[in-house]
Each structure stands twice: as C-alpha cells, then as structure tokens.
Structure 1
C-alpha cells in the first residue's frame, strides 16, 4: 500500500492535485470501499481511509522480491500467499517471476476482486490473473492464517497501512503474538514472512523476534515526503 502518515505525507501521495472521480462505491462486510480515479491513476479508499493507488508500486513489488530473496537457496517452485489484492502490484510482480510456484491471493472485499476481474484495475493484473499458478481466495486474511490447511514458503502481507495503523480493528490481532504464531504455523521450515508498512517499526521487529522468528530485518523504500515505506522480513527457523 502507499499511505499517508500522521507525520505529514500528503493526503494522496503521488497523485498530484487532480480532482478525484468516483468509479465505484460498495458497502461490504467490513464497511465502505471506494475506487476513485485521479488523473491517470486509481486509488482505493476504505471507510474514508486512503489505502493505496497506482502511482508507484515500488514498495509493493519489494514485498514480493524481498520474500523471494530471503528464501533458502535451492527451493523449487516455492508457494507464496499474498495477503491483500490491493491495486495488484504485488500479484503482478509474483506472476512475472517464473521461480514462484503456487500464487494464492487472499482478499476479503468482493469489490476489489471485481475491479480486477472486470474493472479498470485489470490493466495491472489481467496477465497475473490468467496465470495458471494464480488462485484468488475471498476470505478474511486474519481468519485464513489461523484456519488454512495448506502451508506456504512465503507470506507477503499488505492489508493495512502497517502493524501500527490498521484499516479495521479486527486486523490488529494479525500483528500480535497470536497472529504471528498463526503466520509461523502457515510457513514451511525456513519460510519467510514479509509485512508491508507505511513506516518502519522497531517495536514490530521486536514482536516478530519474540514470536520465534529469526533473521528479522527491515527494508525501506524512500518516498517523496516523510518517512519511508517499509517491508518487515522474518524467517521461520528450519
């Protein structure tokens, strides 16, 4: 996601000053979601909170790239779970990489899925959705990581503006010890957890270490103004 921070990011980073045009508005099980067009870009708003837009995508692609780079050498066709379809940058990046095997995307909002399958966000994700490795699962990610029967080599999670800035209150549990334990259980030995954040969080790194992960570190992407976007990386012990 590309999100403003209370420290002073502009309300809609990277989109300039064009007036926003509402493309679609839906009431879903977790509140209102809106797709807007601002100039040549699209942006997603949830319950009045700006989540992401199509103006950049570097940190969303880093989310997938960093997870793959952290996997042990020699793993063939690793399976990746992408938590949150968003505007599709992470999915598109994964599908463009032949080293990935199974690509599962968990998205709770039917509206977001529709915007990719038959709406303007297909410009980002059409090829990835057509890839036979790709599966879209409509589910709440927080529940999914606790109940999914399969394991993954990498979890790439981007459903909030970071562990300290969730879209809905129910998401906070994902970043708590119990949620991180569920993520660890979904990973194969040596598997990688990657979490997107609108700002680096040393406190979250500590929570990851306390949850039993090793190799915890953060990679950053500079933004035009304010603190950098971040991807927090952690590895399940082999």
Structure 2
C-alpha cells in the first residue's frame, strides 16, 4: 500500500481533521479514524440520483445535502439542471476550505460556484432540529451511517428525534435518502416507526466487504 502524505491537519470542535493523499487519491481522517476517500464515489452519486428519481414529477425540486465530504454528491446534484436550490451542510471548516482552495475542489468540480448552491457551515443535526426552510429532498451522508458512527454525537441523527427533525424539514411527499456503509434492517424499521412510507434500500457492491447502501423513504 502506498504511503499516505499528509496535506493538511486542523483542530476543530470535533477533534483533529486530517487530509491525506495516497496513490493519487485523497482521504479524510477524523480523530485518527478513516472517514472517506475519493477512490469510488458511486454510492455518493446514487444518494442524489435516487432521490431525484423519486421526485420525477416535481418541477425544480430543492435538495439539502449533508455533508459536503469529498464532494461527489454535491457535484452530481450540480450537474443536474433539474434541481432548483441546492444547499449543503458541512460542520468542518477545513473540509469547506479544501474544496474552495485545496485539492478536493477537483472532486466537487466547481459546484461551490454554482448559483443554485449554498454552503451552510453548521452542524447538520442542529440545523435539522431548528425551525426553517423545507426541502423536497434530504440527501444525508453523515459518518458511516446509522449502525457505526465515528462521532457519537452523530447517533442522534438516526434515532427517533433525528428522524422526526428530518421529516419536519421535508415538504409533503418529500424524499429522505441516507447513505450507509452497510445494510441495516433495523434502520429500515426505525424509518417506518418514524412515520416514513415507501421505505426501501438500494445497494452498490464494493470491492471488499458488505455493499454500500442508500436508504430511501418518503414523508407521508
């Protein structure tokens, strides 16, 4: 395996955030734990594409993407002219900087300059819990998904309170799409218990291990 080169290292309220390059690809490490890389963005793109397909009859739908990550989801949304407003929530200022002036800009492909795009530097869980604008789609890619989080505070998003907050931020019939590093029947049950309908999952096979998953559900 190629040796990783540290490109930047920052301290934040959530701990240490590191950007590394390995074999031509970038990696984001949080508090010593691998979080994401730029090797394969298929499931991150599916997160947005599947939500858009569910909204085929909606003109100029709005979407909230959380978080920015390595930019695959945002770039895919910005490449689709059918989307109206595109908001992206990212709590790590370092990640936003790495897209604006650093090497991750190559993967978000200039999407931050799209006039439809607004970058919200805040915590996603807190943002959803606050009263505010509703969206036609929430595309959430936070931590490793509902069953394994690097940051314990992210557990709140996948519990009853977090799912209720997500539902409150959706327009009637709006779509909730959640990325996960593994399938989760328990989370599908949690979505139904929270009042969502049409709960289903789409999988993308990965080179090793269990497939990545996008959980999909609608606000009734």
Give the one of 145, 148, 151 matched to 1:162.
145
Whole-Å Cα distance in 2 between the matches of residues 204 and 176 of structure 1?
Answer: 9
Partner of residue 152, structure 1: 135
In the superposition, the TM-score normalised over structure 1's length comes to 0.91
Residue number among 177, 183, 186 corresponding to 1:200 in the alignment = 183
Query: Is 2:155 the partner of 1:185?
Result: no
Name 1:4's counterpart in structure 2.
Answer: none
The Cα shift of 1:167 comes to 2.3
**CA deviation profile, 1:167-206 (whole Å, cap 9, x unmatched):** 2111111100111000000000010000000000000000
The question of whether the paired residues in 2 share the 8 Å contact of 1:177 and 1:207 is answered with yes
Contact 1:116 1:126 in 2 (8 A): no
Q: In structure 2, what is the Cα distance between the partners aligned to 1:52 and 1:127?
A: 20
Aligned-pair distance for 1:34? 0.4
Runs of 4+ deviating beyond 2 Å: none
Stretches of structure 1 lacking an aligned partner (at least 5 in a row): 1-16
User: Residue in 2 aligned with 1:219?
Assistant: 202
- Looking at structure 2, the residues matched to 159 and 133 of structure 1 have their Cα atoms a distance apart, in angstroms, of 22
Would the aligned equivalents of 1:117 and 1:126 in 2 still touch at CA under 8 Å? no
CA RMSD between the two structures: 0.8
Offset, 1:126: 4.0
- Supply the distance in 2 between the matched residues of 1:79 and 1:203 (Cα, whole angstroms): 29
2:112 corresponds to: 129
Match of 1:32 among 12, 16, 19: 16
Structure 2 gaps, min length 5: none
Q: Secondary structure at the match of 1:104?
A: strand
8 Å contact kept, 1:200–1:228: yes
Q: How many residues align?
A: 220
Determine if the alignment matches structure 1 residue 66 to structure 2 residue 50: yes
CA distance in 1, matches of 2:131, 2:34: 29
Aligned-residue offset at 1:76: 0.9
Quote the offset at 1:51 in angstroms.
1.0
